């Protein structure tokens, strides 16, 4: 009998983000959610319910908590994106 793939928790998604950043430090924000989903799928998770909005929400929360640096420059007031504002 084939077992179902597990759903990823927020920590699993955050760990996948860190692995993506370690392999591709200059990734574009438009490609980021797909790369995270690919990484989760490689780890054996079911990614059908992992939305782009959920990935960005987890990314933003991690940046605001100080768990990761805003490498992509998409969170206002954090990382290098703050230099582009006026």
What element of type H or E holds 18?
helix 10-23
Q: Is the pLDDT of residue 85 over 80?
A: no
Name the pTM for this structure.
0.85
CA geometry: angle 43, 35, 81, nearest 5 deg: 130
C-alpha span between 45 and 42 (Å, rounded) = 7
Domain borders along the chain are 10-84
Average the pLDDT over 8-30 and give the result. Answer: 95
C-alpha span between 22 and 13 (Å, rounded) = 14
Residue with tokens 């909005």: 53
Average the pLDDT over 25-54 and give the result. Answer: 95
């Amino acid at each position: 009998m084939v077992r179902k793939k597990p759903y990823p928790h927020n920590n699993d998604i955050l760990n996948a983000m860190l692995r993506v950043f370690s392999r591709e430090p200059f990734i574009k924000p438009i490609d980021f959610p797909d790369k995270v989903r690919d990484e989760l799928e490689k780890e054996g998770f079911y990614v059908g319910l992992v939305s782009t909005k959920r990935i960005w929400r987890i990314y933003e929360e991690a940046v605001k908590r100080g768990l990761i640096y805003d490498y992509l420059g998409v969170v206002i007031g954090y990382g290098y994106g703050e230099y582009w504002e006026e």
